[in-house]
Amino acid sequence: MLRRAPDLYRLAEWAEEESILPKMRKHFSRLRRRLEHARLYVHCKDPRCGRTAKWMTLPRFHRGGWLPRPYYWCDEHGPWETSGISPKLPIHFDTIRAFRDKWGQKKTHKRIRQALGIKKGTRITEEFALRFFAKLS
Ligand SMILES: [Zn+2]
């Protein structure tokens, strides 16, 4: 999940359509639910706020779809404009599903990983992942 969430989301979606791999799907949804409790390390973009962010918005790409350049927001604040901007989406790997292109999915995964406090270049070993998910209840 931490290493290759976009592939997993695609696999799970496909398995769902085919009604196969029930164990994998169950485990996957358990990890997704756990992630809802993850601590976030990004702050609201409102200059006078500075609270921990819970939401993200994405700019619309001129060719359709979204650009994986999120802005982060708390419960109270949001973008000043609404045109050309996505609604507030949770800072969660689920947002990967808003993208149809693999590049956008990959980039978004990286951004969210950083928002979860996983620094660039961190080696995500099985041990690291187990420790990460063990902290979430
Ligand atoms: Zn705020």
Cα 29 to ligand 1 centre (Å): 29
Percentage of residues in the chain having pLDDT higher than 90 = 93
Burial class from Cβ neighbours inside 10 Å (0-12, 13-18, 19+) for residue 58 reads buried
Cα 42 to ligand 1 centre (Å): 11
Cα 131 to ligand 1 centre (Å): 30
Average model confidence (pLDDT) across the chain: 95
pLDDT in tens, 72-130: 999 999 999 889 999 999 999 999 999 999 999 999 999 999 999 999 999 999 999 99
Helix (H) or strand (E) holding 55: strand 55-57
Task: Please tell me what DSSP assigns to residue 29.
Answer: H
DSSP assignment of 57-68: E-BBPTTSSB-S
Residues 73 and 51: their CA atoms lie apart, in Å, by 8
* pLDDT above 80: residue 137: no
Mean pLDDT of 65-74: 96
pLDDT of 107 reads 97
Cα 111 to ligand 1 centre (Å): 19
In this structure, are residues 91 and 55 in contact, taking their beta carbons and an 8 Å threshold?
A: yes
pLDDT of 62 reads 84
Cα 75 to ligand 1 centre (Å): 7
